[in-house]
Amino acid sequence: MIQAFYFIKQSLKGVGNIVQNVLIGCLIVYVALSSSDGLVGSVIANGKYIVTSPNIKSIPDPPLGGDRQLYLRENLRFGDDDPLQWPQPYVAKYAHLSFILRSCGPCNPLAIMWWVPDRSSHKADNGMLFGIGKLCTMDLVDLKSPSLQLLDRATLPMFCGKQLVTQLSNTLQHLLHRLEHIATNFFTMRLGVREAQRVFLELRAILDYKEHMDSLPVMSRKVCCNIMGAFTFELGVCEKLFQAQIPVWLIRLYSELHSIRIKKVVSLDILVTPFRSFPVFAPSIHLSIVDMAMSSKSI
């Protein structure tokens, strides 16, 4: 008991201002939570690694591995390698992916951005070709309305000169134009909708991430639980996201467990039905963002 208490006292040096209760036996010690501590923790990779989070009470199953390939699934997403569906390893060049919105309820104005079109949304064109049509007007309006607002926001001076913002804005306009004016078969229309959703969510993530990081520090700000967050293998990145109140999960060797404070051990969250159960629809096309994050790390 005394040794454990002494260890906690020594570990208080240089940590943050958030206070948490840690139960050691029957003794409650008040400690300040740092980015290297864990509100929760879990062992992964058959006991080789431990993943912790200092600001989120659940841990998604990390998409680990240096040779992962992307496969398009029947829902036209890429399973747990898809930043629209699952947190990804942090890559500095694409830091905004940690700010992608999580799917929302059907009453949310942005619910259309997670909608999967069915055949009732494919209205036949008045032509000679069977099976050719366009996205129905009501669904198109629902998709265009938030998209046009986002495109207007992307023209603000603070985003001028950002190449990726320009590229995504142009791509979104092009996709919306195709959906409105060009008749296609059902699959092509469906793919166009899903790509427009992808571009919208990534463009919004860039704008939100820029505004969020420029507004720091805001000490009273709560953790942004409605965004994806990111995995990282580096303490510096974990500290950056922790201070920015972005969900973050730190992966370390299990051998470092003796130096880690964890409040609660939890089971991993798994990407479940309907996403994981979708069979492979198309062959592998390119490597995932995990490979970028793993370029200097080996798992």
39-50: average pLDDT: 92
Angstrom distance (rounded) from CA 153 to CA 150: 5
Asked whether the predicted pLDDT for residue 282 surpasses 70, the reply is no
Helix axes 186-214, 163-181, angle to 10 degrees: 150
Rounded to the nearest integer, the mean pLDDT of the chain is 82
Beta strands 27-33; 18-24: pairing state: antiparallel
Top-confidence residue, 4 or 272: 272
Determine what percent of the chain is predicted with pLDDT higher than 70. Answer: 78
* DSSP output for 107-172: TSTTGGGG----GGGEEEPSSSSTT-EEE-HHHHHHHHHHHHHHHHHTTSGGGTT-HHHHHHHHHH
Angstrom distance (rounded) from CA 277 to CA 282: 15
What distance lies between CA 137 and its chain's CA centroid?
30
144-169: average pLDDT: 95
Determine the pLDDT at residue 10.
33
Determine the pLDDT at residue 274.
53
Q: Which tokens go with 82?
A: 């898809």
* DSSP output for 48-78: TEEEEESS-S-EE-----SS-B---BTTSS-
Tens-place pLDDT, residues 67-115: 777 778 888 888 888 999 999 999 999 999 999 999 988 888 899 999 9
What distance lies between CA 56 and its chain's CA centroid?
14
Determine the pLDDT at residue 296.
41
Tens-place pLDDT, residues 129-153: 778 999 999 999 999 999 999 999 9
In Å, what is the CA distance from 133 to each residue of 40, 155, 257? 50, 33, 58
Tens-place pLDDT, residues 184-231: 999 999 999 999 999 999 999 999 999 999 887 765 568 889 999 999
Q: Which residues make beta-bridge pairs with 4?
A: none
Residue 106, C-beta contacts closer than 8 angstroms, at least 6 positions apart: none
pTM of the model: 0.82
